[in-house]
Structure formats: C-alpha cells, structure tokens
Amino acid sequence: MIVMKFGGTSVGSAERLTSVLEIVKATKEKDGAPIVVLSAMSGVTDMLINAANAAKERDLDAALDILDKIHEKHKDCIYTLFQQASVVDELVEQLESHLNKLDIILRGVSYLGELTKRSLDAISCFGELLSSLIFAALLEKEGVESSWVDARTFLVTDNVFGKASPLWETTTAKAQGTILPELADERVVVTQGFIGSTASGITTTLGRGGSDYSAAILGVACEADEIQIWTDVDGMMTADPRIVPEAQVLQTVSFKAASELAYFGAKVLHPLTIKPAVEKNIPVRILNTLRPESKGTVIEEASDEQPLYAIASKKNISALFFNSLNMLMSHGFLAKVFSVFDKYRTPIDLIATSEVSVSVTIDNKDNIESILESLHELCDVRVQHDVAIVTVVGTHFRAQSGIAGQVFAALKDINIVMISGGASDITLSFVVANQDADKAVKQLHNALFATASAK
C-alpha cells in the first residue's frame, strides 16, 4: 500500500486537483487503493494565519475579509470541478458550514484580543479540511470509491500546539482501525495532512510544512510499502531550484543525507518526515505532480556512495556568541550554558567552541529574551539576528581531501560569521548574513557541482 501526499501547489487549483485525480486513479489501478494525504490549497494556510493575527489585533474587518477570500477561492474551485447542481449545493453547504465555525472563532479571538497557540491551531486546520473535502467529492464524481476521514479521529498528538508530536501507540491503533478496513474494501482513503488532535479531542497541528510528516506517520502506522511526497519539483535537488535554476535532481539519497538536507532548509521535505520512515525502513519517494512521468528521488537506506549531495540554506536564524574568561581551563561551563537552552526547550542547530568562547545558532526564538537573561549571569553574550545557515551535505567528508579548499575558495568574497563541521561526516555548515545566503549557495553550487560533474 502506498501513502501519497500532495502539497499545496499540487492541490492549488481545479486544474491541479484534476491532475491529482489522474495520479491517484493510476496508483489505485496498479498498486491498490492508496491513502491520500492532502495539504491546504496553496496560500490558504498563510491566509488563515493572517486572519488569526488580524483578529488578534482586533481588526475583525480585515480578518473577515480574508475569510471571504478563502470562501471565494474554494467556491470557484467547486464551480469549476462540478456541474451537477445537487453536488455543488452540497459541497458549498459543507464549505460554508466550516467557514461559519471559523467565523465564530475569529470573532472570539478579536473580542478577546488574544491568540493562543491552541486557538491558532483551531484556525489553521481549516485549509486541509476544505481541500480534502473537495478532492473526496471529485473522486466520487469520477466513480472512484473513496472515504473522507478526518485526521483528527486517528492522528492523536500531545498538546504542544503549533508543533505537536504523535502519540504513536494510540495513533497506530486508531489509524489501523479506521483506515485499513477501507483500504481492504478497495476504497481510497482521503485525509488531511498537518492536523491532529489531543487525546481529549482538541485540534492540534504538526507545524508548518507538516503534511509531509503526517504522510510519514500514516505510512508507519499503516505499514505502507512506500511514502510518496508529490510536490512542484522533480525531486530532491542539488540545491533549491528557486535559488539555483541549474540544480540537478538526485535519483537516490540516503535517509541520513535527506534528514540533514531537510533539517538545514531543503523545504521540499519537512525535517521530521524521515525519522519514522527510517525506523520502519520505508522508502520515501519525492515526485512532481506536474510531471508524473519523471522518476523523482528515492530516499532509502544508503545504497550509493555519492560524494556530494546538495546545498541547503535556512534563513532568519540567530547566532549567539558567549565569551567567558572563567571558562579558561575550567569545566562545567558548557553544561551550564546548555542547561539554559534545555530549560527553555530551545534546540541548538550549530555549535562551535574555543577555549574561552562558544557560538551557537538557534532557529526558535520564542524564548530568546529569557535565554539571554539567564546567560548574562554566566558570561558575556552577543547576539546576531538575521543570519542564515548554509550547509553542504555529502558523504565521507573526512576521507576526502580538497573539499574544504573548494568550499572556502567558493566563499572567498563572503563574510563567514561561524563555521561548523566535522560533527557528522556528511555536513559542513556556515553561518552568513541573510542577504549573503543565496549568493553563497549559488557560488558553492557552481564550484562543487561543476567540479563533481567534470570528474
């Protein structure tokens, strides 16, 4: 059985949904009924978040204006896809029933002038609910037997709103109980990415881009043969094609390299997607909805020994530099520094140390003020916001001579704020100013891949 996840652009219009329909039909014929996990139509999650923020600022008119646009977008799509009046009426009624709930929530947020992470999840879940309703109706219209399942009935999570994690045991039992009988009946299961619910039924989300993660969770829970991530590019590439148009598609990528790439900014895959797939050794395939015939990228247990995979970048990071003369020849300093990050549940992405200084980068800035306050008691701290991490991902860096030389030569005209490498044999990361990140990626790509292909 295959789990197929379609991202925002893949479901972003009536035309795209029709392409998805053809892809799903072909899979059903060839491999049996799949589980189809859908994102919100492109732009809709952003619109929902903007509406929530407008409501929080007590600008209810702006929030309701966005709601109208969401209504129009989905209604247009329904009118383009369906002609039969009874079907259109029923779908529009369902759409409006969801949007009425959203209207009530937005009014509540605006009345209170308060937006908790829990309320934001209650608002941002609607995009996936709407896109999946429309797609399930499209399957029905085409005579493809299917069942629409609300992901909140099986994807049970903790209550970390905005970045929830699955409770695996419950989710596996519920997903198997709800979904497997439908598949056995040859019915395609249509569900939503990104959303789940706590054990007591409160809506949660898995974080931005989290539909990929939902697909992996379902793949593992229902023991899929393959998890397919259908998107708007031909696969995982040697760089973001929006930054490097000549980037090449990678045919195979190891689980390890794909995790590093996703973690360090290759948006094509949510960073948490790979972990469950690795545990059950389920291949993840990245495919292009616009060109279903292209082979895509397979991410699986390392089979190849590709020396260089790709370059990724992640902007809007903060770098923190600590300096303490007390650290000279002393022990325990790093433990104290790390305990502060631990206390504020803030992961450190990169780290570099010398005898008297430590530099780290963090992506999650929610608790930065409290972190800085605690650290000031231990040492001098300097912060640099708006920096980017640029990472080269490959294999066996330690066993190759010349990589560092090529990398540094490529970055010779760029100011490097921090360097971190060697912790893993497959990554070399730099911190540069946000505005230098794209240039760094382009120059690195030019230097490393021109050389790689010339070999």
Q: Is 58 in the site for ligand ADP (CB under 6 A)?
A: no
Residue 454 burial class via C-beta count within 10 angstroms: exposed 0-12, middle 13-18, buried 19 and up: exposed
- What is the radius of gyration, based on Cα positions, of the chain? 23
Contact 310, 374 (CB under 8 A): no
For residues 138 and 257, which CB has a smaller minimum distance to ligand ADP in the complex?
Answer: 257
CA distance linking residue 284 with residue 339, whole number of Å? 36
Name the residue nearer to ligand ASP (CB basis): 39 or 420: 39
Nearer to ligand ADP, 240 or 349 (CB): 240
Of 42 and 172, the one with the shorter C-beta distance to Mg ion is 42
Q: Closest separation between CB of residue 235 and ligand ASP, Å?
A: 17
- 178, 231, 359, 374: which one contacts ligand ADP (CB under 6 A)? 231
Stretch that binds ligand ADP, among 226-234, 347-355, 409-417, 429-437 (CB under 6 A): 226-234
Least distance to ligand ASP from the beta carbon of 261, Å? 17
CB 445 within 8 A of CB 391: no
Minimum distance, C-beta of residue 274 to Mg ion, in the bound complex (Å): 14
Q: d(Cα 85, Cα 56) in Å, to the nearest integer?
A: 38
Q: Please give the torsion angle defined by the CA atoms of residues 289, 206, 131 and 190, in that order, rounded to the nearest 10 degrees.
A: 80
What does the binding site for Mg ion look like in residue numbers (CB under 5 A)? 7, 209
Q: Determine the residue with CB nearest ligand ASP.
A: 211
Give the CA angle between residues 333, 334, 340 to the nearest 5°.
100
Draw the binding track, 121-140, toward ligand ADP (x: CB under 6 A; -: no contact): --------------------
* Nearer to ligand ASP (CB atom), residue 141 or residue 267: 267
Residue from the set 310, 375, 418, 440 that interacts with ligand ADP by CB under 6 A: 310
Greatest Cα pair distance in the chain: 79
- Which residues on neighbouring strands pair with residue 20, listed in sequence order? none
What is the rounded CA–CA span in Å between residue 393 and residue 384? 25
State the helix-helix crossing angle for 368-376 and 333-343, rounded to 10 degrees. Answer: 150
Cβ proximity to Mg ion, 209 vs 265, nearer residue: 209
For residues 430 and 440, give the distance between their C-alpha atoms in angstroms, rounded to a whole number.
9
Binds 45: which of ligand ADP, Mg ion, ligand ASP, none (CB < 5-8 Å by kind): ligand ASP
Q: Which parts of this chain interact with ligand ASP (CB under 6 A)?
A: 7-8, 39-40, 45, 127, 193-194, 208-211
* Identity of the residue, 38 or 437, whose beta carbon is nearer to Mg ion in the bound complex: 38
Looking at the DSSP assignment, which residues form a beta bridge with residue 419?
Answer: 430
295 is a site residue for ligand ADP (CB under 6 A): no
Torsion angle defined by CA atoms of residues 318, 392, 258 and 45, in that order, rounded to the nearest 10 degrees: 40
Q: Choose from Mg ion, ligand ADP, ligand ASP, none: what does 9 bind? Cβ within 5-8 Å by kind.
A: ligand ADP
Pairing type for strands 35-38 and 2-6 reads parallel
Pick what 40 binds: Mg ion, ligand ASP, ligand ADP, none; C-beta below 5 to 8 Å, kind-dependent.
ligand ASP
DSSP character string of 79-122: HHH---HHHHHHHHHHHHHHHHHHHHHHHHHHHHT---HHHHHH
Instruction: Write out the two tokens for 425.
Output: 């044999």
Instruction: Single out the segment in contact with ligand ADP by CB under 6 A; choices: 146-154, 235-243, 360-368, 416-424.
Output: 235-243
Instruction: State the binding string over 67-106 for ligand ADP (x if CB under 6 A, else -).
Output: ----------------------------------------
β partners of residue 358: 322, 353
Is the CA virtual torsion 310, 311, 315, 320 positive or negative?
Answer: positive
12 or 196: whose CB is closer to ligand ADP? 12
Among 8, 127, 196, 271, binds ligand ADP (CB under 6 A): 8
Beta bridge partners of 227: 3, 284
**Footprint of ligand ADP (CB under 6 A):** 7-10, 39, 209, 231-233, 236-237, 239-242, 266-268, 310
